[in-house]
Amino acid sequence: MVLKDKRQIEKNKHFFQSVGHALEGIKKLILEERNFRFDLIITVVVLCIGLLMRIAIYDWLWLFAAFFSVIGSEVLNSIVENVVDLIVGHHFDLMAKRAKDIAAGGVLLSAVFAMIIGALIFIPKFVELLK
């Protein structure tokens, strides 16, 4: 008896099918990508601090821009790493290293952006608390 292959090879037929694939991708990110989990933990910590400090709505907008900048760049970095690994396998290739390094640099830039946003929002709040 031959088992029928359950992998999808056609285009998604329904919106919910697309959502299912997207949720599966997020699940893989959480389970397999250490840095993605770290980013989520930092996001939760900053959210809690923001709630405790009762920051203004416009500060929340900046924080969410920073959160999604970092998380989005981490997703793109994971995509680059997976595609490069698919192409080169376990062999060293200078162009593969270059692609991975550039993708990682994008994550670093977005993390610096997030740290600047966090500092601009929270340092004045902490200074105010100390007075």
Residues annotated as catalytic (active site), given as ranges: 74
Annotated binding residues for a divalent metal cation: 33, 81
- Do 61 and 106 contact (CB within 8 A), yes or no? no
63 class by beta-carbon count within 10 Å (0-12 exposed, 13-18 middle, 19+ buried): buried
Q: For tokens 């980013």, what's the residue?
A: 39
Closest-CA residue to 43 (of 11, 24, 69) = 69
Residue type, 6: K
Annotated binding residues for substrate: 74
Annotated binding residues: 33, 74, 81, 100-101
